Amino acid sequence: MLTLDTLDITDERQWSKSGYPYAEWDLLRREAPVFWYQRPGFEPFWVLTRHEDIATVSKDTAVFSSAQRITVDPPDAIDMLQGELELRAGMFGHSPDDSQALSDMDAPRHRHLRQIMAPCFTPKAIAELRERFDELAFTYVSELTGRLETHGEADVARHLAARLPVAAICELVGAPAADWDDIFEWTEGTIGAADPDYQREGESAEEAFRRNMTSLNGYIVQLVQSRMAQPTGTDIVSRLVQARIDGEAMQLHEILYATFNLLIAGVGTTRNSITDGIRALLANPDQLRMLVEDPSLTDRAVEEILRWSAVAPHFVRTCLQDTEIGGQLIRKGETVALWYPSANRDESVFEDPYRFDITREQNPHQSFGGHGPHICLGRHLARLELNAILRAVLPILPTLETVREPELTVQHLQATDYKRFIVRKRP
């Protein structure tokens, strides 16, 4: 029987088998929405599961810091990541405690770095990419159709969903098309290093992580150095090279880290959203039929897919002073974990939250990291990618069926990642 004493939301094996622990989050929202979680292998932390509480913490960056840690990690992941931080720090001559991504920065540094990149991600800037994305999306769907005709089956995760996110983020950072396949392999191999499928024969998870990380870092170094040699472009890397913060140019390692994190975040999250969205439409033929009959519902369908998939399940904040959330005292120095898929199933916010419904008019999901200054920089880009793929694949979706349940892998409780989702044409 599931109780507060027996629930476990950090069992990666169960995530791989069944996906997100929604039953546990439902119980927590009902009985203990701010819950002190103590389980073997993890430092204790507060679990927040309600939409309202997660939004409150996300907005209050003066009390809840991102600089100490940003995820709940098992010990092996902590050791692996700490080793990489120390290696990088030794290479570039800075402290391993220095922030290496927007997600683990506090103001004012977070605000300054975000402002440099933000012009590339505004609604207006992203809207200008629509024609290009439509062209790419229709090309990729055409190639998927050809694969289905030739082989009888196709992997939605790899042969379709991964294609546009890779192209989109690579074009924004200025990486040539000839390098896109390599970048995809390196990013996947870095994130999924614990999965044997991403390891070479006799290779450990740490060795696979280091191999892919080294390749990706080496590529980014060359990309950044080429922009430094000709600092006149308009892509994101060029903007970082030309930027000034308090009158000072950014250091090489800061530009490298910003570029690295854009590539990692830009590839995986949207690929998983696209895959899960196609899976949801195939599993809900009434919704698919509705969308085929009325393509004007595409924007709402995109928002529902984002709510439904919530591919970045949590972030962590550190409390900087004693405060109260949901009637519970949170003490200075304690860790708070914000579980966004739970917020997206909060019955006090979403009517019939476990129904996939592309007609929802009000859909205040928190799939882009809640609210506040840390809301996902690439949210408009992700929406455009989803929109383009949906419009391109919609004509053939009713002709497809799932061959078998998707293969999932868990990336350190930070994502339930689609390895494969095989479909075929209906007889």
Q: φ and ψ at 362, to 5 degrees?
A: -105, 115
Q: What is the pLDDT of residue 34?
A: 98
Amino acid (one-letter) located at 130: R
Residues of 55-88 as b/e, b for ≥16 C-beta within 10 angstroms? bbbbbebebbbbbebbbbbeeebbebeeebeeeb
Q: What's the burial of 93, exposed, middle or buried (CB within 10 Å: 0-12/13-18/19+)?
A: exposed
Strand 45-48 relative to strand 335-339, pairing = parallel
Look at residues 165, 207, 157 and name the one whose alpha carbon lies nearest to residue 408. Answer: 157
Q: Residue count of the chain, please give it.
A: 427
What span, in angstroms and rounded, lies between the C-alpha atoms of 187 and 4?
A: 37
H/E segment holding residue 101: none
Q: What is the pLDDT of residue 364?
A: 97
Q: Residue 233's CB: how many other CB atoms inside 10 A?
A: 14
Amino acid (one-letter) located at 315: F
Q: Residue 158's CB: how many other CB atoms inside 10 A?
A: 18
351 CB-near residues (< 8 Å, 6+ apart): none
| Average pLDDT for runs of 10 along the chain of length 427 | 94 87 97 95 94 96 91 72 72 71 86 93 95 97 96 94 94 94 88 79 86 89 91 89 91 88 88 96 98 97 97 94 96 97 98 97 92 92 97 97 88 81 93
Can you read off the two tokens belonging to residue 110? Answer: 């977070």
Longest CA pairwise span in the chain (Å): 65
CATH homologous superfamily of 12-425 equals Cytochrome P450 (1.10.630.10)
Q: 47 with 35: CB under 8 angstroms?
A: yes
Look at residues 5, 95, 61, 112 and name the one whose alpha carbon lies nearest to residue 323. Answer: 61
Q: What is the pLDDT of residue 267?
A: 86
Domain ranges of the chain: 12-425
Q: Give me Rg for the CA atoms of the chain.
A: 21
What span, in angstroms and rounded, lies between the C-alpha atoms of 275 and 158?
A: 9
Q: 28 with 7: CB under 8 angstroms?
A: yes
173 CB-near residues (< 8 Å, 6+ apart): 223, 235, 236, 237, 259, 262, 263
Q: What is the pLDDT of residue 172?
A: 94
Tokens 């892998």 correspond to 409
What span, in angstroms and rounded, lies between the C-alpha atoms of 279 and 423?
A: 10
Q: 54 with 368: CB under 8 angstroms?
A: no
What span, in angstroms and rounded, lies between the C-alpha atoms of 427 and 399?
A: 9
* Residues linked to residue 335 through DSSP beta bridges, in sequence order: 318
Tokens 């200054």 correspond to 373
Look at residues 163, 137, 132 and name the one whose alpha carbon lies nearest to residue 389. Answer: 137
Q: Where are the alpha helices (DSSP H) in 153-199?
A: 156, 163-173, 180-191
**CA angle (345 as vertex; 342, 351 as ends), nearest 5:** 160
Q: 160 with 154: CB under 8 angstroms?
A: yes
Q: What is the pLDDT of residue 69?
A: 83
Q: What is the pLDDT of residue 79?
A: 67
DSSP conformation class of 420: E
H/E segment holding residue 245: strand 244-245
Q: Residue 228's CB: how many other CB atoms inside 10 A?
A: 16
